[in-house]
């Protein structure tokens, strides 16, 4: 029997998962519109809690002020990298003059980035609430408490890394790590949600072998994560190309990306085939209103949208709306794959005695 406090945790945890996806969508909009440097400082925006809407509202001498602040933060980050043994990366941060290049004020980009930050702050609140309500399981499932509290530290590190993303003027590998940490936060939330939901339920027992499905589903999750990483690197390359062309001639950007785009496109075929195989294996083993089957159905819908958005990006000159959809649905696909894996993991094959 699930108590009221445990039900409260499950609801808040689910809202946290949705909030995480909203933040990822907001980040996708920021990237697709080139608004990443819409606010040159962090956590405030132009040293204000409510950002300006015109040049007249900008602080006096703000360019020099933020340049000095960025240099100090980058030096601290370089020392942090050196403490991890990453001396070459530290030197690249110190010597990359493009990091210090200032972008002209654009009210639309400023508010796009600011809304992204507000979404992140709201996510932080829900993660904190999730950790607080997790203590309902302090006697029955301590791992829920531990992981929910761990997610607070992860999102804190993510927030700090977000400030580094701004400080280093969207340095490519920092943005990739920023995306991967978002998947970690999402993965922890999905795990605690599923564990709480299944805590008092008996494992599902089916007549068919389940090990092949478990193994192949894990393989599909791994290549999907690799695909997300490649997609992030493609976006980073696109950002560099867009800046070099002053955001003109958009239809030529894809052709200038190089091999990384081909790898991303080719791996997408494998990801699609693998997901269809997983779907076939699920419908062969589950029926009716079984949650693995329902989840697999959602997964197919998301995969179709993801493939469609990929075609739009490739052949329609990277429209911003398609970029945001592509980023969002790649993380939704990962979420459904991982949730399906957790459901299948608890499933057992019936054995006659």
> DSSP secondary structure string, 79-111?
HHHHHTT-HHHHHHHHH-GGGG------HHHHH
| Cα pseudo-dihedral 41, 47, 52, 55, rounded to 10 | -80
Instruction: At 319, list the tokens.
Output: 């429209």
Residue 285: pLDDT above 90? no
Of the candidates 4, 21, 7, 9, the one whose C-alpha atom is nearest the C-alpha of residue 122 is 21
* Nearest residue to 99 (alpha-carbon basis) of 164, 35, 42, 180: 164
Of 257, 222, 225, residue with least CA distance to 330: 225
For 85-99, how does the pLDDT look when each residue is reduced to its tens digit (9 = 90+)? 877 777 777 777 666
287 falls in which pLDDT band (50, 70, 90)?
confident
Degrees to nearest 5, angle at CA 321 with 231 and 265: 30
Cα separation of 257 and 120, whole Å?
Answer: 30
pLDDT at 326 over 80: yes
Using DSSP's 3-state secondary structure scheme, residue 206 falls into strand
Confidence at residue 168, expressed as pLDDT on a 0 to 100 scale: 64
Q: Cβ(327)–Cβ(24) under 8 Å?
A: yes
Higher pLDDT, 300 or 42: 300
pTM of structure: 0.85
What is the DSSP code (8-state) at residue 205? E
Q: 334 falls in which pLDDT band (50, 70, 90)? A: very high
Using the predicted structure, report yes or no on whether residue 265 has a pLDDT greater than 70: yes
Does the CA dihedral 90-95-97-102 come out positive or negative? positive
Query: Around 162, how many Cα atoms within 13 Å sit in the side-chain half-sphere?
Result: 25
Residue 331: which pLDDT band, with cuts at 50, 70 and 90? very high
34 close to 320: Cβ distance less than 8 angstroms:
no
Give the CA angle between residues 293, 224, 247 to the nearest 5°. 125
Place of tokens 């955001």: 247
The pLDDT of residue 352 is 53
Cα-only R_g, the chain = 22
DSSP result, 247-297: T--GGGHHHHH-HHHHHHHHHHHHHHHHHHHHHHHHHHH--TT-HHHHHHH
Contacts (Cβ under 8 Å, ≥6 apart) of 336: 295, 298, 299, 302
How far is residue 156's CA from residue 102's CA, in Å, rounded to a whole number? 27
Q: At what angle do helices 320-345 and 172-198 cross, to 10 degrees?
A: 40
List, in order, residues 6 or more apart from 124 with CB less than 8 Å away: 155, 159
What pLDDT was estimated at residue 172? 61
Residue that the structure tokens 């998962």 belong to: 17
Q: pLDDT tens, 24-69?
A: 898 888 877 777 777 777 778 888 888 888 888 888 777 777 777 7
pLDDT tier at 196 (50, 70, 90 boundaries)?
Answer: very high
202 pLDDT above the threshold of 80: no
Q: Tell me the domains of the chain and their CATH numbers.
A: 1-200 (no CATH), 202-353 (1.20.120)
């Amino acid at each position: 029997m699930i108590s009221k406090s445990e039900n409260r945790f499950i609801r808040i945890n689910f809202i946290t998962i949705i909030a995480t996806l909203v933040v990822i969508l907001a980040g996708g909009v920021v990237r697709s519109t080139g608004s990443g440097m819409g606010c040159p400082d962090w956590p405030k925006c132009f040293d204000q809690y409510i950002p300006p809407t015109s040049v007249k509202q900008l602080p006096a001498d703000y360019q020099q002020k933020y340049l000095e602040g960025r240099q100090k933060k980058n030096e601290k980050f370089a020392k942090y990298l050196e403490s991890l043994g990453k001396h070459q990366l530290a030197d690249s941060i110190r010597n990359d003059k493009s990091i210090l290049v200032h972008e002209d004020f654009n009210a639309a980009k400023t508010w796009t980035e600011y809304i992204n930050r507000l979404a992140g702050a709201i996510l932080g609140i829900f993660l904190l609430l999730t950790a607080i309500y997790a203590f309902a399981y302090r006697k029955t499932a301590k791992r829920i408490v531990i992981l929910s509290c761990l997610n607070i530290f992860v999102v804190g590190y993510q927030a700090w890394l977000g400030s580094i993303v701004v400080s280093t003027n969207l340095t490519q590998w920092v943005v990739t790590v920023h995306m991967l940490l978002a998947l970690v936060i999402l993965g922890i939330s999905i795990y605690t949600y599923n564990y709480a939901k299944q805590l008092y339920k008996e494992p599902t027992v089916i007549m068919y072998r389940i090990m092949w499905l478990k193994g192949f589903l894990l393989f599909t999750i791994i290549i999907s994560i690799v695909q997300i990483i490649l997609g992030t690197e493609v976006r980073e390359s696109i950002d560099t190309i867009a800046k070099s062309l002053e955001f003109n001639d958009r239809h030529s950007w894809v052709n200038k990306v190089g091999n990384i785009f081909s790898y991303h496109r080719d791996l997408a075929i494998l990801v699609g085939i693998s997901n269809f195989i997983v779907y076939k294996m699920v419908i062969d083993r589950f029926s009716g209103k079984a949650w693995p089957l329902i989840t697999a159905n959602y997964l197919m819908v998301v995969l179709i949208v993801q493939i469609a958005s990929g075609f739009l990006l490739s052949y329609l000159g990277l429209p911003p709306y398609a970029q945001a959809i592509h980023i969002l649905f790649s993380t939704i696909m990962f979420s459904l794959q991982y949730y399906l894996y957790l459901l299948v993991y608890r499933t057992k094959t019936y054995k006659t005695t």
